[in-house]
Structure 1
Amino acid sequence: MTQSDSQQSHQKLGLLWPSLLTLLGLAILIGLGTWQMGRKVEKDAIISRLHSRAEAAPVSLDEVIARSRDGDVEYTRVEVPGILHHEKERYLYAPHQGYGPGYDVFAPMRVGEKRYVWVNLGYVPERFKSPDTRPAGGGAEDRTIIGIVRLSAKQETFTPDNNVADNLWYWRDLAGMHASAFDPSKTDLVPFFIEAEPVAGGVPAAEWPKPGTSKVKIFNRHFEYALTWYGLALTLLGVYVAFVWHRLESRRTPE
Structure 2
Amino acid sequence: MVFRPLPLLSFLTLVALALLVWLGLWQLSRMDEKADAIAAFEAASDVAPVSIEDALCGDTVLYGQRIARPDLPVDVELRFFGRDGADVAGWRLFSAVAVPDCAGADTGPALLVESGFVALDGSRTMLDGPLTLEAAPARGMFDADNDPASGTFHHYDATEMAAALGLPAVSDLMWLTARPSGLPPHLAQTPPSRHLGYALTWFGFAITLLGVYIAFHVTRGRLGFTRR
TM-score by length of 1: 0.64
- Counterpart of 1:128 in structure 2 is 122
Instruction: Compute the displacement of 1:34 (Å).
Output: 1.8
Query: Unaligned regions of 5+ residues in structure 2, if any?
Result: 101-108
Within the candidate set 37, 62, 69, 1:73 is matched to 62
Deviations 1:212-246 (A, max 9, x none): 39961212332122111111111112212221221
C-alpha separation in 1, matches of 2:217 and 2:38: 46
Within the candidate set 191, 194, 211, 2:176 is matched to 194
Within the candidate set 52, 56, 71, 1:61 is matched to 52
Within the candidate set 28, 33, 42, 2:33 is matched to 42
Mapping for residues 19-30 of structure 1, pairs under 5 Å:
19-30=10-21
Paired letter, 2:202: W
Within the candidate set 79, 84, 90, 1:91 is matched to 79
Instruction: Compute the displacement of 1:63 (Å).
Output: 0.9
- Counterpart of 1:206 in structure 2 is none
C-alpha separation in 2, matches of 1:123 and 1:16: 64
The structure richer in helix per residue is: 1
Secondary structure, aligned partner of 1:165: helix
C-alpha separation in 1, matches of 2:98 and 2:135: 18
- Counterpart of 1:204 in structure 2 is none
Q: 1:110 to 1:72 in 2, by over 3 A?
A: closer
Q: Could you list the runs of 4 or more consecutive aligned residues of structure 1 that deviate by over 6 angstroms after TM superposition?
A: none
- Counterpart of 1:102 in structure 2 is 90
Instruction: Compute the displacement of 1:104 (Å).
Output: 0.8
Mapping for residues 146-165 of structure 1, pairs under 5 Å:
146-153=130-137, 155=139, 159-165=143-149
Instruction: Compute the displacement of 1:117 (Å).
Output: 5.0
Q: How many residues align?
A: 210
C-alpha separation in 2, matches of 1:175 and 1:156: 17
Query: Which structure has the greater CA radius of gyration?
Result: 1
Query: Unaligned regions of 5+ residues in structure 1, if any?
Result: 1-10, 137-142, 198-211
Deviations 1:180-237 (A, max 9, x none): 334549xxx788532125xxxxxxxxxxxxxx39961212332122111111111112
- Counterpart of 1:33 in structure 2 is 24
TM-score by length of 2: 0.71
Within the candidate set 211, 214, 220, 1:238 is matched to 211
1:216 partnered with 2:181: no
Instruction: Compute the displacement of 1:179 (Å).
Output: 3.6
Deviations 1:13-48 (A, max 9, x none): 564444444334323322321222122112211221
C-alpha separation in 1, matches of 2:196 and 2:223: 41
Instruction: Compute the displacement of 1:125 (Å).
Output: 0.7
C-alpha separation in 2, matches of 1:79 and 1:190: 18
- Counterpart of 1:208 in structure 2 is none
What percentage of aligned pairs have identical amino acids?
Answer: 28
Paired letter, 2:214: V
* Contact 1:33/1:229 (8 A) holds in 2: yes
